[in-house]
Amino acid sequence: MTNQLTSKTLFPALFAAVMLFNSSSLFAQVKIGTNPTTINAASNLEVEASTTGRKTSIDKTTGQVTIKDGTEGNKKILTSDANGASSWQYRKITSSSIFSQGTGVGIFLPVSTTGYCNSINCATALNLTGSFVITETTNDIVMEVSGNYSVSNNTQPITWAYWVSVTGPGGFNQVSGPLWTTESGSNCSSGLINFKNLLKNVAVGTYNVAVYAGPWKNPSAASWLGIGTYSNPGVCGDTTPASLIISVSE
């Protein structure tokens, strides 16, 4: 009698357990859309479009959602249009770095009425350098130079020039300039450097930047230009270093 009761109780329980196990296995993964009987072993859910490769899936271990609709790509964000239709789009992220002049530089400005230095080859490095790294082929780079200058001993307006040199991978070498600056004051006068240079869509890699300056026209007496240093020691100018700001958007 006891054995019969045990059998009547045990077998239904085992049957129910087997059915529950089979049911759990059956519904552990769900596939909707094209190829409904084929699903990645790592997915809990897949929704596949008729266009090859376009599929949304949920990882069974991490819960991570993967959306592949043909617009996906590295460093993109999921956004929508006015009707709520989603797509992956690039969102540019901008990072900026500030580089200060190592030491100030004094530049001799000889008497010249026709233009003394018209290329970086006769210019002087301002000890103002920086670098930036590009990781994406679509990019914008803005380089801004700012700081004070002073000019001494001139009796008439005097003009000089700046250049920005950028070197990078694959022999990349670009020089921007001359960028002219004129000081109308005489004897001891000062002003502000502020100019920008732009690069777009340069190749992936590391780039180095250097800033130069050189004399152009000085119809008066031989003079001195000071950037980050006195143009006339202890008398004219200051020692505040110039700055190079590099902003990279990718």
pLDDT in tens, 39-69: 888 888 878 888 887 888 888 888 788 898 8
- Assign 3-class secondary structure to 119-140: CHHHCEEEEEEEEEEECCCCCE
DSSP letters, 173-215, are: EEEEEEEEEEE---SEEEEEEEEEEEEESPPSEEEEEEEEEEE
Q: Could you tell me the pTM of the whole model? A: 0.72
pLDDT in tens, 159-205: 999 999 999 999 999 999 999 999 999 999 999 999 999 999 999 99
- Angle made by CA atoms 169, 175, 181, in degrees to the nearest 5: 150
Mean pLDDT of the chain: 87
Closest CA to 203 of 173, 182, 183: 173
pLDDT in tens, 94-145: 999 999 999 999 999 999 998 899 999 999 999 999 999 999 999 999 999 9
Chain-centroid distance, C-alpha 183: 35
| Residue entry with tokens 């921007």 | 176
Write the DSSP symbol of residue 42: T
pLDDT in tens, 142-159: 999 999 999 999 999 999
- The CA–CA distances, whole Å, from 113 to 119, 170, 184 equal 17, 40, 15
Q: Which domains does the chain have, with CATH numbers?
A: 2-90 (no CATH), 94-249 (2.60.120.1340)
